[in-house]
A and B are shown apart, each in its own frame.
Chain A
Amino acid sequence: MLEQILTMGFFTAFFSAMVRMAVPLIYAGLGEMFAEKAGILNIGMEGVMLSGAFCSFAGAMFSGSLMIGLLCGILGGIAVGMIHAVLSIKLAQNQSVSGIAINMFVLGVTSFFSRILKEGKSYQQLTTFSTIKIPGLRSIPLIGDALFNQDIFTYFLYVLIIVMTVFYAKTAKGLAFQAVGEHPRAADAAGIPVHKYQYIAMLVNGILGGIGGAYLVLVQLGVFTENMISGRGYIALAAVILGRYTPVGTFGAALIFGGANALQIRLQAVGVPLPAQALAMLPYIITLIALLGSIGRSNEPESLSKPYIRGSR
């Protein structure tokens, strides 16, 4: 058994699977981080991703184009994000309640429409986005395949993480977005339009969450199934906390969760004598352990999930 696991081949395959499992979590995690740093907690990330997945599938199926599918997925994510934005910014409602309501609502809506969509038709499978090999780099042993034999979404992530890191560390706008989540009254007094920035943050949240959901359909599975996000939205929330609200940290945390998922699949493949259900718990157990480990070191924005109303005492 152990000889089977401790091989080059096992690890190469494991790292590849880890990155693939992590990509949707990273997109969703970065989107969630952007919103939370501006003070909006979107527990409805699960719903955003689910909407992104469904809309991308429907769009790609009707148009026959993956790009149009992607666009529909993004719009689907934005639509759900905006529901949460209006509820929590304009109407100053409880953000946890709004997020949970959105998750249940989107689950119902997408399941309903997916049945209508599939009614009387045979099983449909989309051709997915293909991988692009990067010559040279992909030959690095162990991690070459994992990082440089992937799809366009994975490569775009590398750019996105660098852009977001620079945005927060070096730009005036980045500073302003953080101030909104830390101390909206101070931001307001400094002339930053608090609510406008929060809407923008939720727009980004919807776009990235939508991509995260669409990725599962357009790259990995080629098909939409009911409740296919199955908790990834919540794991993305955990990745933001474990990543201490930094882009690189969120990326790393998502890789850990992706790795846990990949590990259980690989272990099943080599035939570890444990029930599949027990192994499937692994990512969630690791999520819990990771969160326990980050107690007391939170970098949470001070005004997270507190609605800002000018002049209220």
Chain B
Amino acid sequence: MAILEMKHISKAFSGVYANEDVDLSVEKGEIHALLGENGAGKTTLMNILFGIYTADTGEIYWKDKKVVFDSPREAINQGIGMVHQHFSLVQKMTVLENIILGLKQDGLFLSKMDARKSIVELAEKYGLRVRPDARIRDLSVGEQQRVEILKALYRNVDLLILDEPTGVLTPKETQDFFEVLRKLKKEGYAVIIITHRMSEIMAISDRVTILRDGKKVKELVTSETDPKELSMYMIGRELHGEFEIQEQSDTGVALELKNVNIMKGEKAILDNIHLTVNKGEILGIAGVDGNGQTELAEVIAGIRKSTSGEICFMNESIQKATVKQRFEKGISYISDDRHADGLVIDMTLKENMLLKDYDKEPFSKKGIFNKKPIEEQAKNAIEKFQIKTTGTTGMESVVKLLSGGNQQKIIIAREVTEEARLVIANQPTRGLDIGATEFVRQTLMDVRNSDRSVLLISADLEEILALSDRIAVMFGGKIVGVLNRSEANVQKIGLLMGGMTKEAM
């Protein structure tokens, strides 16, 4: 018997359907996966269920009663909890305070002792290890996630919605997390897990509902399907298989870092980094977010200054070169934060394409823009990279109105040029759907196959393993190990990512 039935749910934002006639049914003691590309409407559907949005049409039946939730509070009171992709935790408060926040109290004063006891009991029952008095800002992402789950359980929910829960976890943490989910399932909780990772769906879910372009395309029983079928329903076509790896020609070193350090007070953000990237090579940098990867990328691109050490590009020190000089030498940077460093989102596609070459011929002469080559460049980018612009505006589309995948394509069109001899790609496929991801990966592969270099930073191990010739793993600002393609696998990298050294393995 289904505990939750969503029927014919539709929701439009300014005339565009985010959900159109979607059905979803979840049973008690079931882990139900919600699969779809970015923008397929998964999160919108869950936000409707959780009372953040109201559906335009359609009905929700919760425990056989028709319900309409006007706010998250009502949803929680009725027994539905949600863990968002970006956690809803107050950083300055303790774990305990976050969990009891907003709950009805007997009397005026906080009774932390009682709360602590039941939280510790709950945590032990489901293997959710937390320290009740630690402040959230001092916790790892995995710990924060456990707090979020505890927060929901403490409110006696029957259904738990998890939005992309594993994106930020190490492989080991993911395993622990799945163990928790299995225990919850055993206790009769219903769980909805939003994801686009096939392997996880196969590992943990009982049933899958697949959304595409806001519509439900299929509901499948996990044990009766396979990743190939799932991805076919998800993107509406078959994926290419593995990448074709061409033989690597030995053409020498492109980039070399010698003893590079960045200190922040007493703490080393980059700790004695030695690294070489060869021509015709993709060097993958694996690691959990925040272990120095972004700093490494920025120090090479010249955005960040190193405290000590030397960086050589094409056998020439670039230690003193500015960002612009490095770019002119052929170092391109695809930032992990499109909106912060990659694009000016209130400007148009055409203008964003021009950000690095605005002062060069033929785009401008003596400070005056030359319209024709600028438009030519934008037009070529749209065609070559198949950028989907909004409506009829074409190259005049304001970037913030484009989808994440198309925004990323603009950056790639700008950065991955003929002149780029080293492409630093920091999380280049984060938040992109499968189609766009495949495109970006192929583009990077093409760079490698034309004897140029790629430094690929990614938290996605499958991506690192699929593309890299060599893989360096970062932990705590150090490079803890470098593996060749032939010796690398998920287990080995996972251990290094968790701080084990190569010798200890």
- Which B residues, 116 to 143, have Cβ-Cβ distances below 8 Å to chain A? none
Instruction: Name the residue of chain B whose CB is nearest to the CB of A311.
Output: B52
With contacts A183-B88, A191-B77 taken as known, whether A176 is within 8 angstroms of B102 at the C-beta atoms is yes
With contacts A186-B90, A191-B77, A310-B52 taken as known, whether A175 is within 8 angstroms of B72 at the C-beta atoms is no
Give chain B nearest CB distance to A303 CB in angstroms: 10
With contacts A170-B109, A171-B109 taken as known, whether A191 is within 8 angstroms of B91 at the C-beta atoms is no
- Which B residues, 211 to 253, have Cβ-Cβ distances below 8 Å to chain A? none
B100 part of interface (Cβ distance < 8 Å): yes
With contacts A172-B105, A191-B102 taken as known, whether A182 is within 8 angstroms of B72 at the C-beta atoms is no
Instruction: Name the residue of chain A whose CB is nearest to the CB of B87.
Output: A186
| B109 engages A186 (CB within 8 Å) | no
- Count of chain A residues with a beta carbon within 8 Å of a chain B beta carbon: 22
| B73 engages A183 (CB within 8 Å) | no
| B110 engages A191 (CB within 8 Å) | no
| A171 engages B88 (CB within 8 Å) | no
Known pairs A185-B84, A186-B90; list 16 more (Cβ under 8 Å): A171-B110, A172-B105, A175-B101, A176-B102, A178-B92, A179-B93, A179-B102, A182-B91, A186-B89, A188-B71, A189-B84, A190-B76, A191-B76, A192-B102, A302-B92, A310-B71
| B47 engages A311 (CB within 8 Å) | yes
Task: Identify 12 residue pairs between A and B in the complex whose beta-carbon atoms are under 8 Å apart, listed by A's number.
Answer: A170-B109, A172-B105, A179-B93, A182-B90, A182-B91, A185-B88, A190-B73, A190-B151, A191-B73, A191-B76, A191-B77, A191-B103
Q: Which 3 A-B pairs have the closest CB atoms?
A: A190-B102, A191-B73, A186-B88
Q: Interface majority SS on A: helix, strand, loop or mixed? A: helix
Task: Give the CA-CA distance A188 to B76 in the complex, in Å.
Answer: 11
- Which B residues, 262 to 290, have Cβ-Cβ distances below 8 Å to chain A? none
With contacts A171-B110, A182-B93 taken as known, whether A311 is within 8 angstroms of B102 at the C-beta atoms is no
With contacts A191-B76, A311-B52 taken as known, whether A183 is within 8 angstroms of B103 at the C-beta atoms is no
A107 surroundings in chain B (CB, below 8 A) = none
A187 part of interface (Cβ distance < 8 Å): yes
Instruction: Name the residue of chain B whose CB is nearest to the CB of A182.
Output: B90
B87 surroundings in chain A (CB, below 8 A) = 186
- Count of chain B residues with a beta carbon within 8 Å of a chain A beta carbon: 28
| A170 engages B110 (CB within 8 Å) | yes
A183 surroundings in chain B (CB, below 8 A) = 88-91
Of the residues B72, B77, B108, contact of A189 by C-beta under 8 Å:
B72
Q: Which A residues fall within an 8 A CB radius of B?
A: 170-173, 175-176, 178-179, 182-183, 185-193, 302, 310-311
| B77 engages A175 (CB within 8 Å) | no
Of the residues A175, A192, A302, contact of B97 by C-beta under 8 Å:
A175
| A175 engages B110 (CB within 8 Å) | yes
Task: Give the CA-CA distance A178 to B102 in the complex, in Å.
Answer: 11
Interface centre among A178, A185, A190, A310 (most CB of B within 10 A): A190
Give chain A nearest CB distance to B163 CB in angstroms: 12
With contacts A170-B109, A191-B73 taken as known, whether A175 is within 8 angstroms of B93 at the C-beta atoms is yes
A302 surroundings in chain B (CB, below 8 A) = 91-92
A170 surroundings in chain B (CB, below 8 A) = 109-110
Task: Give the CA-CA distance A189 to B86 in the complex, in Å.
Answer: 13
Task: Give the CA-CA distance A302 to B92 in the complex, in Å.
Answer: 9
B447 part of interface (Cβ distance < 8 Å): no
Give chain B nearest CB distance to A186 CB in angstroms: 4
- Which B residues, 348 to 374, have Cβ-Cβ distances below 8 Å to chain A? none
A189 surroundings in chain B (CB, below 8 A) = 72, 76, 82, 84, 88
